[in-house]
Amino acid sequence: MRGRGGTGRGGVVARCAVALLLVLGLWSLGGPTAVARGEGADMSAGARGEEAGPPAGDGYAFTPGARTVVGAPDTAGAVPLDARHTYRSSLPRAARLYYRLRLTAAETAYVPVTAVPPPDAAVSATDGIRVSLRNANGTSCSYASARFGAGISPRPVTALGQRETGKALCQGGGTYYLLVERLDAGRPEATAGAGPWDLEIAPVTEPGLVRAGSTTPPRDWAPASPEPPAGRPRERSGGTGFATARTVGQGVWRTALAPGQTRFYKVPVDWGRRLHASAELGGAQGHGYVGGALTLSLHNPVRGAVDDATAGYTGTAKPTALAPLPPVEYANRYAVPAGVTSVRFAGDYYLVVHLSTRLAEPFGPGPYEVTLRVRVDGRAHAGPGYDGGPVPEDVFTVSDADRAAALTGGLGSADTGASGGRGAGDGDGMTRLVAFGGIGSGTALLLVLGGWTVAARRAHARAR
């Protein structure tokens, strides 16, 4: 008979039990992937009951499946764009690039262009992009620009080119050209930002109406800022691009950002409803002042700019809020103020939060706590009678899944789930799955250990 040094059958049983316990423990922490990586000693944020957000230093999340195109220096070589697809391109310094679209006389076209500079690009407040849509004769239908602003921090910026059927310019069907230009071409000192900027182009077309409606924008809305929602914040990491924006609704949401990071959220807003939002940068240790430390931007369902707000920072908690907006109505497009004319259709409205890279020097690398307060009020109603469907077909639609996701911060019908993080509903489901898995693992462990104990005792009795 072997001694008690663990070389007998009892010792083998004990070692096997310990091995099984370790494997099941690792499985409950991270599943088979964690076992393969040897993880488990340091629990993940998800295992601690917290939400694991995108890693620090992550880049812009382009739309999955986006087609790569090369802009042309003149209209002769312009490549065609189609509203059924999203595109990736690149914009060199001092470049003017053309792209081509074919439009009918009855459709309004929106062509948002998001420029993504390298994270180490040297930029000024006035740097950015300018976008215009032109007809075949070179007449500009519209132009818009997007700049980095007071934060003087490289971040994704979006400008919208559009052709509207109700305006005097650019009527009729035919060929139109999108022109994209960089606004830093005159700064010879911008050597670090001299490399190309990535572009995302996401065309949208909107059909006309079956019957013409009022061309007078509604005036019966209160311009005063509504009271922001109160309550305990819920943790919600944002996406890293429009395609991965995280759905949120009315409530208080919180995340953690490092200097230079940008996060995207989307709020489903029905016809007749209105959106208000504010953001607050939490306190930090340090001394100094950073202008434009926090930027909160709002974009409509076609990614057109609605409003943006910035806040300087001295180390104490600092809020900033968007200007009051009217309810979403089709006739808002006939208004003059940009903040009114841009809330012209229902769908996902995008909140984009950015922390300036300049925060790091006086206040440290972070991460910093950012609290987002969202209010959606007003009475929802049916939309206008379109004579056909928009492209993409769901761009002006708020589904029941979107409404449910807005309540929980989960994934709506338009979420890709690529990198925007799982929703609260999905996260709760995963938590329940892990919990059931843990219960199942524990039960299995007890059964196996019990069986081995009986077997060990019998083996010991036979040995004696």
pLDDT at 95: 86
Domains 65-206 and 231-380+387-421 share a fold: yes
What whole-number distance in Å separates Cα of residue 109 and Cα of residue 83?
Answer: 9
The CATH number assigned to the domain with range 65-206 reads 2.60.120.380
**Beta strands at 368-377 and 305-313: parallel, antiparallel or unpaired:** unpaired
Residue 396 CB coordination number (10 Å): 23
State residue 66's pLDDT score: 97
464 in helix, strand or coil?
coil
Amino acid at 145: S
Which helix (H) or strand (E) segment is 445 a member of? Answer: helix 424-463
DSSP assignment of 130-184: EEEEEETT--EEEEEEEE-GGG-----EEEEEEE-TTSSSS-SSEEEEEEEEES-
Please answer whether residues 215 and 331 qualify as being in contact, where contact means their C-beta atoms are separated by less than 8 angstroms. yes
Please choose, from the candidates 267, 310, 275, 265, the residue with its C-alpha nearest in 3D space to the C-alpha of residue 291: 310
C-alpha 198/C-alpha 312 separation (Å) is 28
Task: Round to whole Å and give the CA distance between 367 and 263.
Answer: 13
In contact, 414 and 301? CB cutoff 8 Å = no
Q: What is the DSSP string of 70-107?
A: --BSSGGGPEEE-TTS-EEEEE-TT-EEEEEEEE-TT-
- pTM over the 0.95 mark: no
**Contact assessment for residue 91 and residue 197, using Cβ atoms and an 8 Å cutoff:** yes
Q: Which helix (H) or strand (E) holds 441?
A: helix 424-463
User: Which residue has 């072997």 as its token pair?
Assistant: 2
Establish how many alpha carbons lie within 13 A of residue 262's alpha carbon, considering only the half-sphere containing its beta carbon.
26
pLDDT tens-place string over residues 302-330 = 999 999 999 999 999 989 999 999 999 99
Contacts of 182 (CB under 8 A, 6+ apart): 91, 92, 93, 94, 95, 115, 127, 128, 129, 197
Residue 31, pLDDT score: 36
CB distance 130 to 181 below 8 Å: yes
- What one-letter code names the amino acid at 380? A
* pLDDT score recorded for residue 33: 32
> DSSP label at 188?
T
The CA–CA distances, whole Å, from 460 to 9, 101, 137 equal: 8, 84, 96
Residues of the chain short of pLDDT 50, as ranges, are 1-57, 192, 414-449, 452-454, 460, 463-464
Candidates 225, 202, 226, 220; CA nearest to 331 is 220
- What amino acid occupies position 31? G
What CATH architecture does domain 231-380+387-421 belong to? Sandwich (2.60)
Q: Categorise residue 307: left if φ over 0, alpha if ψ from -120 to 50, beta otherwise.
A: beta
AA letter at 179: L
Phi, psi angle pair for 436, to nearest 5°: -65, -40
Q: Which of 230, 242, 316, 231 is nearest to 88 (CA)?
A: 242
Write down the domain spans for the chain. Answer: 65-206, 231-380+387-421, 422-464
Question: For the segment 388-425, what is each residue's pLDDT rounded down to a tens digit?
Answer: 999 999 999 998 888 888 877 665 554 444 333 323 33
